[in-house]
Amino acid sequence: MHANIIRQDGRLLLKDLSCDCPLTHQTPEMDIYIRPGLVNECGACIREAGLPDRVLIVADSITLEVAARTIKANLEKDGFVCKLCVLPGDKIEPTPQMAEYIIGHITPGTELLLSVGSGVITDRTRRSAYLSGIPFAAFGTAASMDGYTSVTSSMMVDGTKLTIYGCAARLLMFDTDILAAAPKLMTAAGLGDMLAKYNVLVDWKLGSVINGETYCPLCAHLLKTALDRCLDAIDDILASTREGQEALIEALILAGLTVLIVGNTRTVSSVEHNMSHYWEMRSLAYGTPSPSHGISVGIGLIYSLLYHKMLREADLSAIDKEAVKAARMNKEQKWAYLVENYPPGVPDEIKSVNEDWYISWEEQERRIDALTAYHDSYKKDCAILPDYRDIIRYLEHFGAPTSATKAGIDRDTLKKTLTATAFFRKRYSISMALSELGLLDALADRIINEFEDNL
């Protein structure tokens, strides 16, 4: 396993990748620039990447003033032909209509889409690029997520959070002065999204041992390198310095590149992301509160860390398998449980993407035995996990909520979050492990009754 991470003149390069795991690995073809003053140098970056010069710039009313207007003026000075597409509304929703709006601004001469913004704007432009067959580049205005490198777009369709195919940006540009001036809650979101990779690594290893998932040492190495980069600069990140923002966005980009390397999001998300998606789906369906994605992920990380703490402390030799068997739901009861706990339409989506939404008792018993045998090694694997109180401290520093109830989510929804999200995806997680051990419901109650008020 090997990866050469090069930082040279404000560029981030990833070369000489090798790994012996069974997954297919690809070296991402993406030019990445991270340095101050880049808002004035986009033309040179675009030409260095070999991209065309007839550009549709996509922004919203905020990023128009933050960077897009300046980028357009500088590109035109450099001989580019530019048009602006300013997405309407105060809050841009991740819907198919927004992608259609962008496509409606594409003219026969448009050769490149350039998103100026963060998550939603980048995702909508990515989807528009895919549908139109036009390449795209991204100018990120906040270190708020790991999705700048993604080939997929998260989209809300009929109340369900779907991952829809798009295309990867050919060029990423980040001006660290602009990142440092971004709203504090956006930095909190990026930090929450990044630190969630600790939980991803432990859950992924858990899934490889218990459920036969392929664990990629190369991607794990890149994630650990990114996490080290982030924690080494944590004081600068909390102070929102240029150097801190550079470290955070670099960590997020390295994490995101692992998705391109192996072609799936197992490398960057686990049950903490399920919790975030759950709140977002409920918000769309019922109008209930939902923090921004990264902050939701950070809160989900706190709950996941508490779950890991409880599993480490559990005596698995005391598990009464007969009692677990007697208490488990049959298939009809499990389906009714999903229907009761998820917004309309979501259970059908779960069933379509997760064939393990209901497993036989024989398979559950096998997993219980495997967990019991792995428990001592699992405790050692958990050594990389941060203390949940540190995550609380980081989020609090930026004024972000640190629990579901502080984010306006009621306790009944929290209980559903802590239990039902175990089944949202096939990928194995701490929540799924606790469910199969027959411990999830009681430990969710423990979090709500013993920890929630102090988070």
pLDDT score for 218: 98
The secondary structure of the chain in percent helix, strand, coil, rounded to multiples of 5, reads 60, 15, 25
d(CA 68, CA 61): 10
- Please list the alpha-helical segments (H only) found in 233-292: 234-238, 242-262, 271-286
pLDDT score for 164: 73
pLDDT score for 201: 98
CA proximity to 371, closest of 199, 210, 207: 210
Phi, psi of 9 (to 5 degrees): 50, 45
d(CA 44, CA 37): 12
pLDDT score for 156: 63
Structure tokens of 236? 């600068």
Cβ burial, residue 213 (10 Å; 0-12/13-18/19+): middle
d(CA 318, CA 307): 18
- The dihedral through the CA atoms of 277, 410, 442, 357 has a sign that is negative
CA proximity to 170, closest of 222, 114, 120, 118: 114
Assign 269 to helix, strand or coil.
Answer: coil
- Please list the alpha-helical segments (H only) found in 12-171: 42-48, 61-63, 69-77, 96-103, 119-132
Domains of the chain: 36-182 (3.40.50.1970), 187-454 (1.20.1090.10)
d(CA 5, CA 222): 9
Assign 6 to helix, strand or coil.
Answer: strand
pLDDT score for 94: 67
Is residue 355 a contact partner of residue 418, using CB atoms and an 8 Å limit? no
pLDDT tens by residue, the chain, 455 residues: 899 999 999 999 999 999 999 999 999 999 999 999 999 999 999 999 999 999 999 999 999 999 999 999 999 999 999 999 999 977 766 677 788 999 999 999 999 999 999 988 999 999 999 999 999 999 999 999 999 999 877 766 665 666 677 899 999 999 999 999 999 999 999 999 999 999 999 999 999 999 999 999 999 999 999 999 999 999 999 999 999 999 999 999 999 999 999 998 999 999 999 999 999 999 989 999 999 999 999 999 999 999 999 999 999 999 999 999 999 999 999 999 999 999 999 999 899 988 999 999 999 999 999 999 999 999 999 999 999 999 999 999 999 999 999 999 999 999 999 999 999 999 999 999 999 999 999 999 999 999 999 99
d(CA 1, CA 20): 7
How far from the centroid of its chain's Cα atoms is residue 137's Cα?
20
CA distance readout (Å), 126 to 102, 169, 421: 10, 7, 27
